[in-house]
Amino acid sequence: MDEVKAVLQRLQHISVEPAPVGPTDAKATPPLRALPHRVTMAAMMLAAIALLIGLGTYAFVSFVGSTDSTVRRSSTRAPEDAAASSAGAAPRNAPSQPGPPSAQAVLRRALHNMTSGRVQAARSELLRIDPEGSVDVAWALARSYDPNFLSTVPAADAAPNIAEATRWYRTWYALAVKEGLVADSVSPERIIRSMR
């Protein structure tokens, strides 16, 4: 790096030095300062390019070296230090903790459980996700107690309960009317009567 700087400075001095006055030996090699101005400028440009390449290489090597030493320092840190430093913030490359499943995901899983015969598991999942606030959940709960539906499920692990089915069908109906999904002229009584 120092050599490139020295060459560049020398080329700058040569371009400003006056040309020699007097005769020169024809056989002697002309001094650098006697070269035409274009050649001198080309040499200075080459030296500048070499300097820039050298500085770029130096910067790159310095950066890689500092990154490497940072990695070595962090990998040799004591476990207590690593735990203490990560207590304030989660590491950048650590996967984020998944949140609770959405109501739709729980509903899908409960419906799958119900059709697979795991009706008790389906009921407990449905009861955890605000069944009185969701039309779909209230409907699924009503079906999980409905003897007509349970008779279609192979090896259902829960008994039907007409009173609970009636309760959830009425909850479903009230929510469906409120949300405009069914007209209030339609009654759930036909479904309820079919369970007797």
- Contacts of residue 65, defined as CB under 8 A and 6 or more positions apart, other chains included, come to none
pLDDT (tens digit per residue) in 129-150: 877 788 999 999 999 999 999 9
Per-residue pLDDT tens over the stretch 143-196: 999 999 999 998 899 999 999 999 999 999 999 999 999 888 888 899 999 998
Of 57, 87, 117, which marks where a domain is finished? 87
Convert the pLDDT of each residue in 29-59 to its tens digit: 555 555 555 655 655 666 556 555 655 555 5
The DSSP symbol for 183 reads -
Residue 119 in domain: yes
> Exposure of 159 by Cβ count < 10 A (0-12 exposed, 13-18 middle, 19+ buried)?
exposed
> Do 127 and 186 fall into the same domain?
yes
Which of 87, 118, 143 terminates a domain? The answer is: 87
**Which residue matches tokens 């309760």?**
167
Q: Is 46 part of any domain?
A: yes
- Is 44 inside a domain boundary? yes
Angstrom distance (rounded) from CA 122 to CA 115: 9
Q: Does 97 map to a domain?
A: no
